[in-house]
Structure formats: C-alpha cells, structure tokens
Amino acid sequence: MGPVEMSVPRVTVVSAPACHFCDAAEQTLAEVALEFAIEVVPVAFDSPEGRRLVAEHRPALSPLVLLDGAYFGSGRLSRRKLVRELARLGAARRAEPGAASIGARRG
C-alpha cells in the first residue's frame, strides 16, 4: 500500500466589489494559509459561478465562504472557527512559516 495522500481543503470565497468584509476575509485567508495547506478559490459575486453559488446558499452578507463546497459562513470570516475546522478535518500544517503563497498580494 502506498503513502496516504491528504487532500488540500478548498476555501471558495464569493466576493462583492467594495466589500470590507471581503477584504478582511482575503487577509484572514492569507494568514491561515501560512499555517495550513489550503487552496483558496476567489469567485466574483457577479460572475456566472458567483451568481449560482449565491442563489444556492443565499448568504445574508458578503463574502460567501465555502469549505470543500459546503457552506462555511458569510460576512465576517472567523479565523478561529476556520482554524478549528481545518484542524478537525486533519488539514496538513505547513512545516515552515511563510511557506504559503496565495493570490496576488497587496502592496
């Protein structure tokens, strides 16, 4: 039997323009990605996929956040809740701080 391959949790973020919770979620996910191996998938609110996800999950606030395709939350993203859930799922922890890279960084 070969080595066990762990799947990397996918965090989908459906963001709206001019949304301060969306900006904060992006920052939170960048920080969490330094600790855990995660795949962050940004989706624009007004894209076909974004409209489909919003119609399906009907979030009260933006951003809509999905974890492996399942509703995780909307509005202000709780770092503590996300870290707790990633640990519960057995997500791989990064060996070295700063080993992650997601999306474009703001300067």
pLDDT exceeds 70 at position 1: no
pLDDT exceeds 70 at position 75: yes
Percent of the chain beyond pLDDT 90?
77
Cβ neighbours around 83 below 10 Å, total: 16
Nearest CA to 93 out of 38, 35, 30 is that of 35
Cβ neighbours around 80 below 10 Å, total: 7
Angle between helices 20-35 and 79-89 (to 10 degrees): 40
Structure pTM? Answer: 0.82
How do residues 31-69 score in pLDDT, each as one tens digit?
Answer: 999 999 999 999 999 999 999 999 999 999 999 999 999
